[in-house]
């Protein structure tokens, strides 16, 4: 089914899984790299943008993650980080996003002048600048941070979780772990998750992308994750008979019964090999079975995408209509790391009226 791209851009959207260091503009990477003398594998912003997409189309998460070496390299000063964060907000707003959460790892931005704390402050200030610019244009948007700990460090600590708690009233909405999934189970960060639970701060866990159902089980049962980053391979815990009737395994049934949100990112999942194509992506199967499915970009630069494009792909490849777009948007709004009052205002004052008009 074809969904009107212009309408999709206008409709209010909610982005839950979007990496800041994966959302830079190619022109910004090109300009900042020239300023610091960082070598790039392309000689123009246009060719650089193409390179990121081609390099990310490796089919493995490990090679996909290598593309971040270039974006992280240009995010080692407060001024550059503020610019990247400001532009990130502007790009979301231009695509109709009204609420977003951007995740990033403070430990990766400390090769120069920044400390983890000053990096959080720089992102905070850049996001605020972006929201102010958008408000002046009549674009209302709220973007919060999720602080990410890299899961493949030798000795996990609670440093990033503590930083998230310190800045919880300054735009940090929660915590995440990301990076190489295979061989680095989420329970390595159990002290961080326990600390966050004790202080009532929410968190999401990358799971079920590079490894299977056991990763989702550990994230949910051992780490008590509020949301699952990706979770695409939970479909491996579902079997279908000859008539297409589904039988859910214990992990899949638990996730569905508790309505634990899945942060699915079709284009990215295809690039990392978690799905063979958008048409074969299990998002529609999981949606039809009643899982709380949400849609995000993951990394806009690497996937050459925007959230409106991801919805358009669901229409063309999986038959989604506007009612389906509305359902996934509401799922995301209801799953946001945002207080109840603001979530309800977002739904009743912004999302529902816009879709009521669009659906006639």
Confidence of residue 57 (pLDDT cuts 50, 70, 90): confident
Residues 250-300: pLDDT tens digits?
Answer: 999 999 999 999 999 999 999 988 999 999 999 999 999 999 999 999 999
Residues 111-161: pLDDT tens digits?
Answer: 999 999 999 999 999 999 999 999 999 999 999 999 999 999 889 999 999
Tell me how far the alpha carbon of residue 299 is from its chain's centroid: 7
pLDDT at 148: 98
- Smallest Cα–Cα separation from 179: which of 199, 201, 197, 205? 205
Residues 292-302: pLDDT tens digits?
Answer: 999 999 999 99
Confidence of residue 64 (pLDDT cuts 50, 70, 90): confident
Q: Is 200 helix (H, G, I), strand (E, B) or coil?
A: coil
Domains of the chain: which residue ranges? 5-359
pLDDT at 66: 82
- What mean pLDDT comes out for the span 173-182? 93
- What mean pLDDT comes out for the span 238-259? 97
- Smallest Cα–Cα separation from 140: which of 107, 99, 109, 179? 99
- The residues carrying an active-site annotation are 209
pLDDT at 47: 96
pTM: 0.96
Task: Tell me the C-alpha distance between 45 and 266, whole Å.
Answer: 25
184: left (phi over 0), alpha (psi -120 to 50) or beta: beta
**Residue 199 CB neighbours (<10 A):** 12
Q: 5-359 belongs to which CATH class?
A: alpha beta
Q: Are 330 and 355 in contact (CB under 8 A)?
A: no
End-to-end CA distance of the chain: 18
Residues 330-358: pLDDT tens digits?
Answer: 999 999 999 999 999 999 999 999 999 99
- Smallest Cα–Cα separation from 100: which of 168, 208, 20? 20
Edge-first strand order for the sheet with 172-178 is: 13-19, 97-104, 142-150, 172-178, 203-207, 227-230, 262-264, 293-295
In the chain, DSSP assigns E strands to: 13-19, 97-104, 142-150, 172-178, 203-207, 227-230, 238-240, 246-248, 262-264, 293-295
């Amino acid at each position: 089914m074809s969904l009107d791209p212009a309408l999709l851009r206008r409709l209010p959207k909610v982005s839950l899984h979007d990496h800041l260091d994966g959302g830079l503009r190619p022109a910004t990477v090109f300009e900042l790299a020239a300023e610091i003398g960082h070598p790039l594998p392309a000689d123009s912003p246009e060719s650089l943008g193409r390179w990121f997409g081609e390099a990310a189309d490796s089919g493995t998460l490990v090679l996909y993650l290598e593309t971040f070496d270039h974006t992280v390299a240009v995010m080692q000063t407060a001024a550059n980080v503020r610019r990247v964060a400001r532009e990130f907000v502007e790009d979301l707003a231009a695509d109709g996003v009204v609420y977003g959460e951007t995740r990033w790892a403070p430990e990766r931005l400390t090769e120069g002048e920044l400390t983890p704390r000053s990096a959080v402050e720089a992102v905070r200030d850049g996001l605020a600048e972006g929201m102010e610019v958008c408000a002046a244009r009549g674009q209302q948007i709220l973007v919060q941070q999720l602080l990410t700990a890299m899961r493949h460090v030798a000795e996990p600590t609670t440093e990033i979780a503590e930083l998230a708690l310190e800045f919880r009233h300054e735009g940090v909405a929660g915590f995440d772990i990301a990076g190489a999934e295979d061989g680095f189970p989420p329970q390595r960060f159990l002290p961080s998750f326990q600390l966050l639970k004790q202080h009532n701060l929410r968190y999401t866990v990358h799971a079920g992308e590079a490894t299977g159902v056991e990763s989702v089980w550990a994230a949910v049962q051992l780490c008590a994750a509020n949301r699952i980053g990706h979770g695409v391979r939970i479909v491996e815990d579902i079997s279908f008979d000859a008539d297409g009737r589904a039988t859910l395994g214990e992990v899949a049934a638990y996730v569905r019964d508790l309505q634990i949100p899945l942060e699915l990112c079709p284009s990215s999942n295809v690039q990392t090999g978690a799905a063979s194509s958008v048409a074969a992506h299990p998002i529609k199967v999981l949606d039809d079975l009643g899982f709380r499915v949400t849609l995000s970009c993951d990394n806009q630069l690497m996937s050459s995408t925007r959230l409106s494009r991801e919805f358009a792909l669901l229409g063309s490849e999986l038959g989604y209509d506007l009612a389906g777009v509305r359902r996934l948007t509401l799922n995301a709004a209801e799953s946001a790391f945002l207080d109840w009052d603001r979530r309800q205002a977002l739904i009743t004052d912004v999302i529902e009226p816009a879709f009521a008009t669009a659906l006639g």
